Chains A and B, each alone.
Chain A
Amino acid sequence: DAGVIQSPRHEVTEMGQEVTLRCKPISGHNSLFWYRQTMMRGLELLIYFNNNVPIDDSGMPEDRFSAKMPNASFSTLKIQPSEPRDSAVYFCASSFQAGYNSPLHFGNGTRLTVT
C-alpha cells in the first residue's frame, strides 16, 4: 500500500499565478479530504468528497480555491490567482468511507510558498 500520494512536495510561485496541487488517494478509499495547515490557524478542513462528489466545501476560503475529483484515484486543488496568504502546507487525506469510524490517512503534504 503506497499510501496517499501528493505532488508536488514543494511549490514556490509568484503572486497571481495559478497553482494546482494533486492527490492520489489510497486505492479502495471512497472519501477524500483536503486540509490546509498554518501556524496561525492549525489544520483546517477545506473540502471533502464522497464517491467523487463534493459533500462540503464550506471550508474553502474563497472563490479563488477550487477542487475536483474526476475519478476515484485522483483529485486536484487549484488556487487561481494565488496570494501570499495562501502559503501553507496542504494535505490530502482519504478514508474507506466518511463514517463507519474510518480513520483518515494523510499524505505528506505540499508546502506552498507564494511570494
Chain B
Amino acid sequence: LAKTTQPISMDSYEGQEVNITCSHNNIATNDYITWYQQFPSQGPRFIIQGYKTKVTNEVASLFIPADRKSSTLSLPRVSLSDTAVYYCLVGDPWTNAGKSTFGDGTTLTVKP
C-alpha cells in the first residue's frame, strides 16, 4: 500500500484559499486518491476522490500531477468551520479498499 506524507499542521485565516499537499511516491497504477475531513468527536467524512488531473466538487478541488506522486487538496475561501483534520488516502478500490490506510493527517486551523 502506498504510504502518504502530509504536513502535520497548517494555519490559515478566514476567506483564504488553503492548499494541502500529500506525497505518495510509491502510488500504484490502480490506486485512487481520496481525502477525508474529521471534526472532533466525529468520524471522518469523505471530501473528494480522484485518479488524475483535476477533480472539483462543491466543497473542494483535487489536483493531481501527471506523475501522480503527489496530490493537492484545495479549499476555497475557508471559514472557521473548516478547522479540522484532513486525511489523504491512497489505495486500489478494487482490491484493497478495506485496507486504505489513514496517515497522521493535517490539522488545519482557521483563524478569524
Q: List residues of chain A with CB under 8 Å of any chain B CB.
A: 4, 31, 33, 35, 42-45, 48, 50, 55-56, 91, 93, 95, 98-109
Interface size class of B (residues with CB under 8 A): 20 to 34
Asked if A103 and B46 sit within 8 Å, CB to CB, the answer is yes
Asked if B98 and A55 sit within 8 Å, CB to CB, the answer is yes
Asked if B102 and A95 sit within 8 Å, CB to CB, the answer is no
- Most chain A CB inside 10 Å of its own CB: which residue of B45, B98, B102: B98
A99 to B91, CA, bound (A): 10
By a CB distance below 8 angstroms, the chain B residues around A99 are 93-95, 97
- Residue-wise interface mask of B (78-97) relative to A, using a CB-CB cutoff of 8 A (1 in contact, 0 not): 00000000010000011101
Chain B interface, >50% SS class:
loop
Cβ distance A107 to chain B, nearest Cβ, rounded Å: 6
By a CB distance below 8 angstroms, the chain B residues around A43 are 44, 87, 102
By a CB distance below 8 angstroms, the chain B residues around A105 are 46
Q: Is B29 an interface residue (CB 8 A)?
A: no
- Knowing A99-B93, A100-B93, A101-B32, the reply to whether A42 touches B49 (Cβ < 8 A) is no
Asked if A56 and B99 sit within 8 Å, CB to CB, the answer is yes
By a CB distance below 8 angstroms, the chain A residues around B19 are none
A4 to B45, CA, bound (A): 12
Closest to A50 in B: B98
Asked if A45 and B43 sit within 8 Å, CB to CB, the answer is no
Asked if B101 and A45 sit within 8 Å, CB to CB, the answer is yes
Asked if A42 and B104 sit within 8 Å, CB to CB, the answer is yes
Closest to B94 in A: A99
Asked if A106 and B43 sit within 8 Å, CB to CB, the answer is yes
A31 to B99, CA, bound (A): 12
A104 to B49, CA, bound (A): 11
Interface residues of B in 17-41 (CB under 8 A from A): 32, 34, 36, 41
- Knowing A99-B97, A102-B97, A103-B49, the reply to whether A109 touches B42 (Cβ < 8 A) is yes
Asked if A91 and B97 sit within 8 Å, CB to CB, the answer is no
